[in-house]
Amino acid sequence: MAQVLVFDVWSEYAHFRKFFTTTSPLTFSLPPRTALCGLMGAVLGLPKETYLNQFPRKKASFAVRLLNPVKKVLFSENLIDTDAIKSMNVIKQHTRIKFEFLKDAKFRIYFSHTDPEVYSAAREMLSHHRCVYTPCLGLSEHIANFSYVGEYPVTRIENTGEVSIDSAIPKDQVLSVRFEPGKEYMTETLPNEMAADRTVHEYQQFMFERNCKPIAASVNHYYEMGSDDRILFM
């Protein structure tokens, strides 16, 4: 990996459904890697049924950084059984369910791919603010905007002691963390690898600071970019 594409993505609301919630859906605090695959698939116009095949971990690298603090709100939504109605004008039954959403969600995404054609296509689309399908953050109604930050060289650096990491950190890469006053540390277990049939093959626990501050940690390795960001891939 020599180069990484960097872009920011945001939406007024976002919802990345936690896999263990049913009647009252809760949201993860940041997009899982599986959601980032869907976002990139929308930008490139890859078919819904097969886009996950283009982004296995051995080929595609994603990292995510919070740009706005984690803020969650609850709303009630009316759900309807679309199979049981003949016309949208005569809906008589619905189910009201509370949903948890991220408010003012904004993230910085780092992306690379081993396939030069996929990487070049992503750079072309992102740098010209173009996409084939409408990007969203989790649910289709949470339409997202994005802006291209740039393309940067990246260098892998093996553990050399404590360093400030800007992105979410996979817990299995952490050797130690220096917990600092005034910071709010969070961990969440996210789906990290998914097959085309939506079977999750891997979950991973990530650590991040809810107010977008870097975490001082000793890690197995990290990646340093020309933009001075220090990140770990999901």
Q: In angstroms, how far is CA 131 from the centroid of its own chain?
A: 17
User: Residue 130: is its pLDDT beyond 70?
Assistant: yes
Q: Can you give the residue range of the structural domain that contains 80?
A: 3-231
Between 88 and 213, the more confident residue is 213
Q: In this structure, what CATH number is given to the domain that contains residue 20? A: 3.30.70.2660
- The pLDDT of residue 135 is 93
Q: How far apart are CA 220 and CA 161, in angstroms?
A: 9
Mean local confidence (pLDDT), 213-229: 90
Count: domains in the chain: 1
Q: What are phi and psi of 151, to 5 degrees?
A: -115, 130
Mean local confidence (pLDDT), 169-179: 92
Three state DSSP letters for 25-65: CCECCCCCHHHHHHHHHHHHCCCCCCHHHHCCCCCEEEEEE
Q: In angstroms, how far is CA 65 from the centroid of its own chain?
A: 9
Q: How far apart are CA 6 and CA 126, in angstroms?
A: 9
Between 141 and 206, the more confident residue is 206
Q: How far apart are CA 99 and CA 96, in angstroms?
A: 10
Mean local confidence (pLDDT), 150-155: 93
- The pLDDT of residue 80 is 66
- The pLDDT of residue 143 is 93
Mean local confidence (pLDDT), 173-198: 90
